[in-house]
Structure 1
């Protein structure tokens, strides 16, 4: 026993899903401690990685185990409960045993089909490469079998209208089915309220990154943190980002669809299978997607790192190019200037003007002209266009047709044909679905431009100017006639686009109605 008393053991614990009680961390620790006692080893630490997949991460990429593997001098043996707690692929097993040979370590799996598996790499007479490869191959086959069983089980549950488990899509929460086994999804009121405000802001022209900042400032939980709270876990304090806002606001899960790998799961007739009641209607969903696409267009992108009020509003009268704020006179003066050369263009007479003078004059002009006008918002009703879903189905059908040669057995060809028939049936149904014309509706926000101006920050005021169609045209200086002490108003012109005029909007709305 004295020989074994000096052995130092590290116990490794891994769990992909914290809800899996059959492979709980406690059970794994107890198995590791029992094995350490049997070989007379002293436990020097635990590498505990929870909610970490062995299929998606190598042992060296896991937070705690990876840190221990970079400190090999602190232990002599690593003990796992079972082989699948360590690796799920041939490559990962080879990398782990190569590391063990290099550092002369011993690897033990306390339990398994053949009992305890002890791989002693501490000497030249250790386990052969052939044995290691066989073990790794077995682990990989087990992982693939598990994935196939899980995929098949989830497909069956979806076909029954049941929730297959995992992290529910944002906006929903799983509940027990009424009078039937299993779970289904229902709208989560708190998340739905966030989504509704988010989509309204997007339709109002707010950028996703701005919405993300507001959500973070308000302490709204991200989808992952929201799910952590639902499951009784401590949220990690993740932050909203623009891509998350775009993802959840445009997800097809909001239509109530079961989604797998970004595509709706379909039934035998090619129709999307519902996981729960829709949070939004199809026309609103398409409106949000269209608004996000418009916001992403180059001409609508706003600078995040500028306090220039008139960026996108002030233009050089000579070349009609945007004017940008920068410092002049060795940093003594801040000006708006034409930067045609920076855009690869030529301007015959570039304009430049003091920024504070132009800002003050433009604000006076804006508020004097339309400060009392009501701010209106154009609501676009997309009606119903079967085109988007038809395009999705056509794309899926085209990809599915390309996989026909893969199926060699009669059973495989039958399964392929069933999916092809379902997709074609849905495509035929969509092709005969009538198109409902889109329309626009102008509604009042209940506020004036002046009221919204007072409540907005610089970025919000810039957006008000741009949305109202405001343009400030700046002519080049007439020459140096001594020191200039005030704005030369003959050099500037302020223009408001017609869409900022409520009377013009009303006339346009009447004209559209009469033409329908």
Structure 2
């Protein structure tokens, strides 16, 4: 009695929503072919949202796992050959595997609609020839599809129409008022969120602080927001398990805030799409002007890496300000029975302090506050306002980079249509570069203005963290010497004056500092 053949049903879909090649249709065709052959299906390899032009059969999540254990089945059934491969190289690799492992490759619908089998269980030059001829046909079809799709999408993009894909945050799909299809336009709700994010960032809040505030407020990240707008549930799959929704992170914010889409630019593969004159094709009304976008980019480029930032996990007002006169190291806040002290911790650094200092926290903080109020309390705080000029250089560099990439890509355009599109793109960028080169540069200027607030009022409305940052930016130092043994008089009357010394940057230097950034930074500290 002949053993029944064991069949593996292989299903692949590039786009999950494609109804013409749906998994159900493929599964039914495979099952019918197995039944016609008297085979039993022992497993299924279903790879959805997987492109055959970008992955080999061995690299696909489910099919690759099955191919790694060939003893579990005798044959593989696909609906059509393009479900298996779309390149001659992949077909050759699959054929070698099938020959080495003695497998039967079956396609429920071959050329003309009839079933086709490639029996690799025995040496068959005819099977190998048919296999390579069909693979060649599949590869040519894939290239033709790719050129048609690329050309159609390029035409839609240059017309300002939505060509599919991810919608940039801040925009949404709307009916094209000028004809068929869709366009993108600013989404009022998303623009409101973006405006708040940009305001907070420019006011000095860190990206981490802004992200935490957005998460606490329940603000949807771009991916979830677009899902909700499209009528889908927010969230996704991660490590095989569904989670409620994605969270804002500093990385997500940086990606959104650095995107030229904020200027209304239509992007393709991260680069602006340009018209025949080289001007960026716009999605619609921009969220930011070029000047505003450049100001934001300048600010983002100056953000200090997290590892170098001032500590936010302490309420010690004088951390970094109070110093031990014995070793020059910081004094740290620590608890004691009945209160708090600032103490030298040289030993924690592996050092020995010759005169380790310690002092009651309330005494030292009161002393520093009195010194600050006496010296600058009634003075007006200032801030520096920058009036940004116009410099065509940033966009010129973008155009230059795009031109270099295009020139490097010239030889890859094999068809006449591809070469024609390449030349149009080059001509447009050249015209834009010429216009930018002829645009004069205007210089930026700055001015220092009073904020209308005194240092005393700023001090009064901030907590310990805010006051600490003001002191650090002002270059304040409070050095403390070691007290006398016993210290009975000191415990009654307070520290001896000679133990304390306070220095502060000059009044002029303080006015030159951008102290409004201190306020913004310390406001952000409440979220970090």
TM norm structure 2: 0.72
| Cα deviation 1:131-183 (Å, max 9, x = unaligned) | 55555454444333322222111111112111111111122122221251011
Aligned to 1:365: 369
Find the partner of 2:473 among 469, 475, 489.
469
Structural mapping, 1:300-311, within 5 Å: 301-302=308-309, 307=314
Aligned to 1:85: 83
Find the partner of 2:279 among 267, 271, 291.
271
Matched, 1:427 2:425: no
Equivalent residues of 2:319, 2:332 under 8 A apart: no
Relative to structure 1, is the Cα distance of residues 231 and 411 closer, same or farther in structure 2, using a 3 angstrom cutoff? closer
2: CA distance, partners of 1:283 / 1:159: 24
Relative to structure 1, is the Cα distance of residues 410 and 504 closer, same or farther in structure 2, using a 3 angstrom cutoff? closer
* Bigger Rg over Cα: 2
Structural mapping, 1:452-491, within 5 Å: 453-454=462-463, 461=465, 465=469, 469-473=473-477, 475=479, 490=499
Equivalent residues of 1:311, 1:462 under 8 A apart: no
Equivalent residues of 2:221, 2:248 under 8 A apart: yes
Find the partner of 1:54 among 35, 52, 55.
52
Aligned to 1:512: none
Structural mapping, 1:146-295, within 5 Å: 146-234=145-233, 235-236=235-236, 237-295=245-303
1: CA distance, partners of 2:170 / 2:417: 39
Residue 393 of structure 1 and its aligned partner are, at CA, apart by: 1.6
Equivalent residues of 2:45, 2:63 under 8 A apart: yes
Equivalent residues of 2:110, 2:116 under 8 A apart: yes
Higher relative contact order (CA 8 A, sep 6+): 2
2: CA distance, partners of 1:467 / 1:72: 71
2: CA distance, partners of 1:306 / 1:84: 58
Aligned to 1:330: none
Relative to structure 1, is the Cα distance of residues 465 and 382 closer, same or farther in structure 2, using a 3 angstrom cutoff? same
Residue 246 of structure 1 and its aligned partner are, at CA, apart by: 0.6
Relative to structure 1, is the Cα distance of residues 440 and 403 closer, same or farther in structure 2, using a 3 angstrom cutoff? same
Aligned length: 487
2: CA distance, partners of 1:304 / 1:274: 43
Residue 8 of structure 1 and its aligned partner are, at CA, apart by: 3.9
2: CA distance, partners of 1:366 / 1:87: 79
CA RMSD, Structure 1 to Structure 2 (Å): 5.1
Q: Secondary structure, in 3 states, of the residue corresponding to 1:23?
A: coil
Equivalent residues of 1:18, 1:50 under 8 A apart: yes
2: CA distance, partners of 1:134 / 1:309: 76
Aligned to 2:522: none
Matched, 1:11 2:9: yes
Matched, 1:392 2:398: yes
1: CA distance, partners of 2:263 / 2:331: 43
Q: Secondary structure, in 3 states, of the residue corresponding to 1:108?
A: strand
